[in-house]
């Protein structure tokens, strides 16, 4: 999977945190995008799917998971944009949603988006995410 060579397919669905996976993506390999809040996860999701997801990261907003479909190197994939998290030890609703997605929905790849200027803090999540059972490849994007 080589991310710089993307062809976009604009299909996206925003789903509440308790919504089941979208059935029209059943059977497609899934890419799950994870990372701390405000590091660019949704920007990567938008690029992969050709859609636009607006994100609000302040208390009292709804925790949402965005799902879309994209094509990478000719392969159609399901792409999931998760809420930001700091740890796989869920302490907030956002972290519980992302934890549940990682452990309940197998992914062909988990992409961890990190901010290079805060690398030490970002890497604390890398090792646990790379060891999620049922996940295929693990990528870090700076």
At 64, list the tokens. Answer: 């949402």
Would 64 be classed as within a structural domain? yes
Measured between alpha carbons, how far is 89 from 97 in angstroms, rounded to an integer? 11
Would 105 be classed as within a structural domain? yes
Would 1 be classed as within a structural domain? no
Would 119 be classed as within a structural domain? yes
Give me the sign of the Cα torsion angle 94, 96, 102, 105: negative
Measured between alpha carbons, how far is 121 from 137 in angstroms, rounded to an integer? 22
> How many Cα atoms within 13 Å fall on the side-chain side of residue 1?
20
- Asked whether the predicted pLDDT for residue 57 surpasses 50, the reply is yes
- Asked whether the predicted pLDDT for residue 6 surpasses 60, the reply is no
Each residue of 67-91: pLDDT tens digit?
999 988 889 999 999 998 898 888 8
Would 36 be classed as within a structural domain? yes
Would 42 be classed as within a structural domain? yes
**pTM reported for the whole predicted model:** 0.78
Domain total in the chain: 1
Q: What CATH number does the domain containing 89 carry? A: 3.40.50.300
Would 16 be classed as within a structural domain? yes
- The three-state secondary structure class of 78 is strand
What does the pLDDT average to over 32-38?
91
Domain range for 137: 6-141
Q: Residue 52: what pLDDT?
A: 84
Q: Residue 80: what pLDDT?
A: 94
């Amino acid at each position: 999977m080589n991310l710089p060579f993307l062809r976009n397919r604009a299909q996206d669905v925003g789903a509440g945190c308790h919504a089941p996976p979208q059935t029209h993506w059943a059977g497609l390999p899934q890419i799950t995008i994870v990372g701390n809040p405000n590091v660019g996860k949704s920007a990567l999701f938008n690029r992969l799917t050709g859609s636009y997801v607006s994100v609000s990261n302040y208390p009292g907003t709804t925790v949402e998971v965005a799902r879309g479909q994209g094509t990478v190197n000719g392969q159609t994939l399901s792409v999931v944009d998760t809420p930001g998290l700091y740890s796989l030890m869920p302490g907030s609703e956002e972290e519980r949603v992302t934890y549940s997605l990682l452990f309940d929905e197998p992914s062909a790849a988990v992409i961890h988006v990190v901010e290079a200027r805060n690398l030490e803090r970002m890497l604390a999540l890398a090792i646990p995410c790379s060891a999620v059972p049922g996940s295929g490849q693990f990528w870090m994007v700076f």
